[in-house]
Amino acid sequence: MPAENHKMKILAIDDADLERELLIEVLKGSGITNEFLQARDGDEALEILGKNYRDICLILLDWQMPKVSGMEFMAGVIKVPAVSKIPIIMVSASGTDENKKKARDVNPSLGGYIVKPYKPEELVETIKPFLK
């Protein structure tokens, strides 16, 4: 368990470095002080998650990524009890209702679905309830 006053980490997964930078800039700019871990695809994210899952309070997940896509990553994660309770928020350029439904079908506990390009306040409001 994390020590008192120790903030847990946010795992940001996106194949665009610039999108991850933007996301972190927006969240830090809004006063969020959690540390960030970063991955460029689902494969890299699984490795990071395996080593750090006890410290991660939230996963921000892109959909279209090489190797292991966001949906494949999420489908895998929710099957593993040790990590299945970590909230996931999709942050994707594909934002149709059908995409959102697909994501919720894979993960009924999905924490949110944000469409790029997003408004900073929308991102902050969506993730705040999940921060620890």
Partner 1 sequence: MGNQAREQELEQQAKLLNETIKQLFKERGEIDFAKEPVLNKRTIVEYSGRMRADGMEKFNNPTYVSFVNFYIDAKSMEKHSALGALVVYVEQSYIVPLMKKLKYPPIDDEDEDAMKDGCGALCNIIAGAYKSALVAGGFAELEMSPFSNYRNTASNGVEFCFKEWDKYEIGYNLDGEKRLVVELTMGAIPKRK
Residues found near partner 1 in the complex (CB under 8 A)? 15-19, 21-22, 25, 64-66, 69, 92-99, 115-117
Place of tokens 């279209």: 64
Closest separation between CB of residue 31 and partner 1, Å? 18
Closest separation between CB of residue 40 and partner 1, Å? 10
Closest separation between CB of residue 99 and partner 1, Å? 7
Residue whose CB is less far from partner 1, 53 or 118: 118
Is the distance from CB of 10 to CB of 57 less than 8 angstroms? yes
Element (H, E) at 89: strand 88-92
**Euclidean distance between CA atoms 62 and 41, whole angstroms:** 8
